[in-house]
Amino acid sequence: MYRFLLSWRWALTALIALLLIPLCIKLGFWQLHRHESRVARNTLIGNSLKAAPVPFDTISTGAGYTVPSALTWRTVTATGEYESAHEFVVRQRYDSGGSSPGFFVITPLKLADGHGEVLINRGWVALGTDATSYPSIPPAPPGRLTVTGRLRADETSAASGIRDRGGLPEHQYMLINTDQQTKATGATILGGYIELASTSPDPGQQAQLIPAPDHSDIGPHMAYTIQWWLFASMVPVGLWVLIRREAKDQAAAATTAAAGVPDPDPAPALTS
């Protein structure tokens, strides 16, 4: 009854099914790892945002410092005065809704303790008359002040996927990068930057602050994991159903032929 399984058609069907099972299992583990990474990221962000603020220059030890992933999003403070002469904007950034293109406003803050400067992302502003024109920016507040925000690592083309091309208008850049600004200004800029959350005293008019990252959404990856593993378990079941159906059809055809019942749908006769 099952001699048909020795045919090339069924051998190929069985081979495809055997290949699909480990493929679906592997895709399930891939989605599981993405879920675990998302949960770990959310835990890191949540713990960092809840931690007590620490001075920025107790973490960033100097120019060229690379912020480790474990400290990213840590709440930090810095006290000093803005260096508005070295202010610049970062292109191709979007508002909190993710729909309107514009710029991030980056202003160096000269630390009061003399350890150097730190780049402050003061928020988002809309495009000017076009993408190449310098936008209208609320001025950085004068005098000594204290900023509180989230610690971020320098942006790079490799990490962000943004191509840092030259030939841009003056004071416009593609990335927030302290090495780049050190070369451009000659100032001692500590590695990493602060994504501004609040300023004391309150400056009043300011750019649109960047909201804290959402760390509650774990995404659909666990559901996808279960789906892929269900597919893996359904492949052998589906293959067995097809085999049983073919066996029944073969048995019915053999019974019909043995009884001498003519084929209800015979092939047309060839004519010369």
The whole-chain average pLDDT of the chain stands at: 86
| Bridge partners of residue 150, in order along the sequence | 75, 195
> How many distinct structural domains can be found in the chain?
2
Q: Name the percent of the chain lying above pLDDT 90.
A: 50
Same domain, yes or no: 46 and 94: no
Q: Which residue in 117, 243, 236 sits closest to 182, CA to CA?
A: 117
Angle formed at CA 178 by CA 172 and CA 179, multiple of 5 degrees: 100
Q: Is residue 146 in a domain?
A: yes
SS3 74: coil
Same domain, yes or no: 166 and 187: yes
Same domain, yes or no: 72 and 32: no
pLDDT at 130 over 60: yes
Neighbours of 228 (CB within 10 A): 19
Same domain, yes or no: 195 and 237: no
Same domain, yes or no: 225 and 117: no
155-188 per-position pLDDT tens digit:
988 766 677 666 788 899 999 999 999 999 999 9
pLDDT at 192 over 90: yes
Beta strand ranges found along 48-183 (DSSP E): 54-55, 75-82, 88-94, 101-111, 117-126, 145-152, 172-173
202-245 per-position pLDDT tens digit:
888 899 999 988 877 778 889 999 999 999 999 988 888 888 88
Let me know: does 165 contact 82? Beta carbons within 8 Å: no
* Domain finish residue from 200, 234, 264: 200
Q: What is the mean pLDDT of residues 18-44?
A: 92
The span from the first CA to the last CA of the chain, in angstroms, equals: 37
Q: Is residue 206 in a domain?
A: no
Q: What is the mean pLDDT of residues 48-74?
A: 90
Query: What are the two backbone dihedrals, phi and then psi, of residue 181, each rounded to the nearest 5 degrees?
Result: -75, -30
Same domain, yes or no: 34 and 147: no
Same domain, yes or no: 35 and 168: no
236-270 per-position pLDDT tens digit:
888 888 888 877 777 777 777 777 655 555 545 44
The continuous run of DSSP H or E covering 195 comes out as strand 189-200
pLDDT at 9 over 50: yes
Same domain, yes or no: 241 and 196: no
Same domain, yes or no: 60 and 194: yes
Q: Is residue 191 in a domain?
A: yes
Query: What are the two backbone dihedrals, phi and then psi, of residue 149, each rounded to the nearest 5 degrees?
Result: -165, -165
Q: What is the mean pLDDT of residues 46-51?
A: 86
Residue 150, CB-side half-sphere exposure with 13 Å CA sphere:
20
Structural domain that includes position 121: 55-200
Same domain, yes or no: 59 and 46: no
Same domain, yes or no: 172 and 190: yes
Query: What are the two backbone dihedrals, phi and then psi, of residue 77, each rounded to the nearest 5 degrees?
Result: -130, 160
Q: Is residue 207 in a domain?
A: no
Q: What pLDDT sits at residue 62?
A: 86
Q: How confident is the model at residue 83 (pLDDT cuts 50, 70, 90)?
A: very high
Q: What pLDDT sits at residue 265?
A: 56
Q: Is residue 1 in a domain?
A: no
Neighbours of 160 (CB within 10 A): 14
The residue type of 270 is L
Same domain, yes or no: 43 and 78: no
Q: What pLDDT sits at residue 262?
A: 58
144-155 per-position pLDDT tens digit:
999 999 999 999
pTM for the predicted model, two decimal places: 0.74
Let me know: does 232 contact 30? Beta carbons within 8 Å: no
Q: Is residue 74 in a domain?
A: yes
Both structure tokens of 113: 């303790």
Q: Is residue 144 in a domain?
A: yes
Q: What pLDDT sits at residue 219?
A: 81
Q: Is residue 88 in a domain?
A: yes
Both structure tokens of 256: 């019909």
The residue type of 146 is T
